A and B are shown apart, each in its own frame.
Chain A
Amino acid sequence: MPVYIIRRLGAGLVLALLVTFITFLLLSTSFEDVARTILGPSATPEVTEALIAERGWDRPVFVQYVDWLVNAAQGNFGVSVYTSLPVGPTVLQRLAVTLSVIIPALILTVILSTILGVWSASRGGAVDRLAQGISLVGYIVPGLLLAIGLVVIFAVQLKWLPATGYTPPGEDPAAWARSITIPVIVLVIGGVANMAAQVRGRMIDELRRDYVRTLRTRGTSTTSIVLRHALRNAASPALTVMSLEFIGMFGGALIIENVFALPGYGSFAFNASLQGDIPVIMGITAFGVLLVTGVNLLTDLANGWLNPKARVH
């Protein structure tokens, strides 16, 4: 097992190197634009060149990348060229905001999807059709529209919840809960729509299997069949869907963060890409790759724990 983990982490590291290098290569064409943006409209070409030289952006791309890598390995991701914010600490801070929305959303998504999926699979009939209808509606209503609609109702009209902004949970837990309520609801609706259908499908497959019939003939209670046996077997693929959902929520969070003005990872990444803020894009890419690798590894390990067939030796 430790060998497996080390191998996976090694693969993740190679992937991170590749992705960050390619990103750097793609960004390397815009150093002059970045310099011009920093200097503003009235900069002369001489001043622009002086700044490029001062920042070392005229060196060969590979040298600059290695320089970035050596610094990044020591935890120094540089400073944003547009906002003067230190990249490493800011990415972590922004990531914390996004995670504080995504994790509650994911937990609720898993709970609700499991309930809905298991319920519709084991009960069938009208309940199943209703659950599928709910899924379908959740799936086709765009998150952005839902977010705007909920803000208009709960923040603007009823004034129950704030329309924008974020309070860290450490500062004021109640204010934090209020600030993430609508974003979490939006993410959960999208998430449940997707995941409940997956859980349902897997559960139906499992409940048709021979071992379920065998268990029934042995007089095992339905609750036990559904929850102890079938659900455990269905959980493994559901876990994979969950990890995809988690990563997908980062993408969804970008829209949510914009609508609710949450200072999260998505909006930070979006702004940096729009401006061509090279140190920030590099930092975000590096953290992003490590995050995805980490989540995938944890998913595989949890899968192995749940499902002996998926265990690696």
Chain B
Amino acid sequence: MLKRSRLKRSRDGRGRAVGALAALALILSTAACSPAAESGGEGEAATLTLAIQAAPPSLDPAQLDEGAGTFVWSSLFDTLLKVDNDGTIQPNAAEAWEYSEDLLTLTLTLRDGLSLSTGDTITAEMAAANLERTRVTPGPQQPKLANVESITAPDDKTVALKLTQPDPSLVNYLAQATGVVADAATFDDPAAALRPVGSGPYTLSDTTADGTSYVLERRDDYWNAEEYPFETVTVKVIQDSTAIFNALQTGEVTAAAVQAPQREQAEGAGLTVTEVKSAGTMLLLLADREGTIVPALADERVRKAINLAFDRELYVSSLLGGVAQPTEQSFNINGAAYDAALEGTYDYDPEAARELLAEAGYADGFTLKMPSTVVSTTFEPAVTQSLADIGITVEWDPVPPQNIASSLTSAEYGAVVWFEGTNLAGREMANYFSPSGFLNPFHWQTPEFDQLLSDIANERDLDAQADLYKKATAYTVENALNAPIASIGALWATADGIELATDINVPKTVRMFAPPSD
């Protein structure tokens, strides 16, 4: 009897299971057609679906951040100038710019036909109001206008910036987040942080899910719409790199950055993988060059010894998956400050390094405390070993992820393993070595280097300026101000129908991508 009742129940159960299977089959059959439908056929409007790992923190024009979220805000806002796919600064909303003879006034001339997404005309007054607001509002862009004394709009087309001292980085800032133009009427509207009224080639569609998926629709009344071939751009925020890779393989995403170990698999799955050279620099920042907390670092011989301790080729091939190249310079290898002739100054030579340390009075080595963060963890065993080989003992001090920046700025550590995104030469020079630079927490400075920086700032001729940058770079290498290890590339995987339009590191805008040129 027990058996019979069990049998009956199991039949009922089977009936339900069949029902569930039928439902599952229905789901699966509708699923099977959806990815194919999305990929689009010939002649259809071009679309781009990008994956980024972090959402833009804010779309308030004075609070923009230049991380991956740049893809979103740079589509919504025009910048006064722009960085082209070859890394040069070009006109954009401003069709021309000019410095005064003393380099203390920058005059920008707006082009005709600029309009907001609401259809209203953009005047010079509105552009100036944007800059003025950024100048006085605490935010990531504010410090970039620190040398700007006043911003005026003498007429409808002209914006004039008066400076307290020449600033070679200013035009670069105006080509990125500092130079955006938004509707001045929405400055005080809190909703603008999520739904701004912009001036750029795209507007946010209603299907946007804040923080998760940004759907951008091209504005047909935008002055330069033909330079933006994608009618719809969807920027999906997917934090996990494996999830991004899966989405690329299924066609849910058509362009995204991938990791070096995923390269082969991505190519196997029919994706095009393009390497962008010099997206960042991996280096050991020798921040305490004056020996405030680590006296040894004040000695040039010690800093040189540290430079000699790294087998850079080995770091590139085994730790960076080959998507990098060894470098002894802190700067962008595609930038004006890079000088190939300086490579080889510190070829791997632990023997010479130990001799230098002995000469400096550290024959028995010393202890170096460095912050251990999520970005340094992978490299810690190698760095520990490289430095141990020349007698320096590393002590790693755990630092939580949200404190990475402050681990550097707090000036608590004499040296820090750091990854810095590349930028244009002026910005990098200021960031790494100017007394107020973010990567110079101990405010190191020397009269010679100050002179070099000032010469650069006061040079109007770009070729002459490039020579001066190289002179400054030579100074940083010869004095071993840092111990750069490698210039790191980035890999972009794109699906059929999408090409990467650049092979160098440029600001993250949709202009990086294009439909196939043929």
- Which A residues form the contact surface with B (CB < 8 A)? 30, 32-34, 36-44, 47, 50-51, 54, 79, 82-85, 90, 115, 119, 122-123, 148, 151-152, 155-156, 159-165, 174-175, 177-178, 181, 221-223, 258-261, 263, 267, 271, 274-276
Contacts and interface: CB of A to CB of B under 8 A. Distances in A.
Given A42-B140, A276-B402, 4 more contacts: A83-B58, A83-B210, A162-B35, A261-B238
A44 B13 contact: no
Given A41-B438, A221-B1, A54 B138 contact: yes
20 contacts: A30-B403, A33-B406, A36-B405, A39-B139, A42-B438, A43-B142, A44-B436, A51-B138, A148-B242, A156-B250, A164-B243, A164-B246, A164-B250, A165-B236, A174-B30, A181-B24, A221-B1, A222-B2, A271-B239, A275-B401
Given A47-B142, A85-B210, A162-B31, A37 B402 contact: yes
A82 B65 CA distance: 10
A20 to B, nearest CB: 20
A186 to B, nearest CB: 14
B409 to A, nearest CB: 7
A267 B27 CA distance: 26
B1 A174 contact: no
B59 interface: yes
Contacts of A84: 57-60, 63, 193-194
B87 to A, nearest CB: 21
B454 interface: no
Contact of B431 (A42, A83, A271): A42
B32 interface: yes
B378 interface: no
A42 B143 contact: yes
Contacts of B239: 258, 261, 267, 271
A253 B243 CA distance: 15
Interface in B1-21: 1-2, 5-6, 9, 13
A175 to B, nearest CB: 7
A123 B6 contact: yes
Nearest to A115: B13
Nearest to A271: B239
Interface in B44-62: 55, 57-60
Contacts of B35: 159, 162
Contacts of B242: 148, 259
A274 B31 contact: no
Contacts of A160: 28, 31-32
B247 interface: yes
A43 B137 CA distance: 12
B119 to A, nearest CB: 25
A141 to B, nearest CB: 18
A220 to B, nearest CB: 11
A179 B253 CA distance: 15
B240 interface: yes
Most buried by B among A42, A267, A274: A42
Contacts of A34: 402
Contact of A258 (B2, B65, B243, B437): B243
Contact of A38 (B9, B140, B236, B249): B140
Contacts of B402: 30, 33-34, 37, 274-276
Interface residues of B, number: 63
Contacts of A115: 13
A259 B5 contact: no
B31 A39 contact: no
B77 to A, nearest CB: 16
Residues of A contacting B: mostly: helix
A41 B419 CA distance: 13
A43 B144 CA distance: 9
Contact of A47 (B9, B32, B138, B250): B138
B269 to A, nearest CB: 8
B138 A223 contact: no
B409 A36 contact: yes
A148 B237 CA distance: 19
Contacts of B138: 39, 43, 47, 50-51, 54
A41 B146 CA distance: 14
Most buried by A among B31, B58, B239, B247: B31
A259 B27 CA distance: 21
A42 B34 CA distance: 46
Nearest to B24: A181
Contacts of B27: 161, 174, 177-178, 181
B246 A155 contact: yes
Most buried by B among A30, A44, A164: A164
Contacts of B141: 40
A178 B252 CA distance: 14
Given A83-B55, A159-B32, A178-B30, A164 B252 contact: yes
Contacts of B363: none
Nearest to A156: B249
A44 B441 CA distance: 11
Nearest to A273: B402
B164 interface: no
B209 interface: yes
B140 A163 contact: no
A47 B134 CA distance: 13
A187 to B, nearest CB: 16
Contact of B211 (A47, A181, A263, A275): A263
A271 B55 CA distance: 11
B212 interface: yes
B139 A38 contact: yes
Given A175-B34, A263-B212, A258 B240 contact: yes
A83 B67 CA distance: 13
Given A47-B138, A159-B35, A259 B240 contact: yes
Given A33-B403, A37-B402, A83-B58, A163 B243 contact: yes
A261 B211 contact: no
Interface string B183-227: 000000010011000000000000001111100000000000000
A83 B54 CA distance: 10
A37 B54 CA distance: 14
Interface in B430-485: 431, 436-439
3 closest Cβ pairs, A-B complex: A40-B140, A84-B193, A163-B246
A50 B137 CA distance: 10
Contacts of A223: 5, 9
A156 B243 CA distance: 11
Contacts of B1: 221-222
A82 B31 contact: no
Nearest to A84: B193
B25 to A, nearest CB: 10
